[in-house]
Amino acid sequence: MPFLIIVTMLVFVTLTSAYVAQSRVQGTDKASSQVTLAFMQLDSEIRYATNIGTPVPDSNSPPDYFVKFELPATQSTQGQPTCTQVEYTSTGNLQQRSWLANASVPTAGWQVMASGLETTPLSTAPFSLSDPAYPTPWQLSMNLTAPSGAKAAAVQSSFTITSLDTTSSATNQNAQFCGSAAL
């Protein structure tokens, strides 16, 4: 009888461990997939940007961070220059919204690209821009951590996107394109 109890306990512990490991893998896989899809979408957009703003904290909802970029009319589905804002929120979302460059900045229209990202205070900004003083195309780097939680292991994702249509002559001033600096 004690032998059956020991065997039953070993089976129970093994199954519980397998379930916890599976939950961690699934959580990590989902977050990694979202970040990969967000990268692919942003790569296809930022690659053709004519201007990229300096990434800054969102003064309207700290500690959120955002970066904005402008696509030329030739890359826009509407045939006019288009602005896009990408934001990393304190709720763990990577989201974006777009509008025509000559229109006012919308207050809604956010599209969530990835969720469940790290929500603890960030030690470094999630976005950084290469030095615009160099006469080479600008590069936007993103550092995202997903997910954070008891059931999933944290995965750090870092990627850099080169904008082929920007040079040092572009106006890298947030207030000079795509609306005001604080969106």
Domain residue spans in the chain? 2-168
Residue in this structure with the two tokens 């199954």, named with its chain if needed:
15
**What's the predicted TM-score (pTM) here?**
0.75
Handedness of CA 53, 164, 76, 93 (dihedral sign): negative
- pLDDT tens track, the chain, 183 positions: 676 777 676 666 665 665 665 555 555 566 678 888 888 899 988 888 888 888 888 877 777 889 999 988 787 777 788 999 999 988 888 999 999 988 888 888 999 998 878 766 556 788 888 876 676 788 888 888 766 555 556 777 888 888 887 765 555 544 467 865 445
pLDDT for residue 181:
44
Q: Which residues pair with 86 in a beta bridge?
A: 67, 96
* Cα–Cα distance list, 49 to 3, 75, 144, 157, 164 (Å): 69, 9, 22, 22, 7
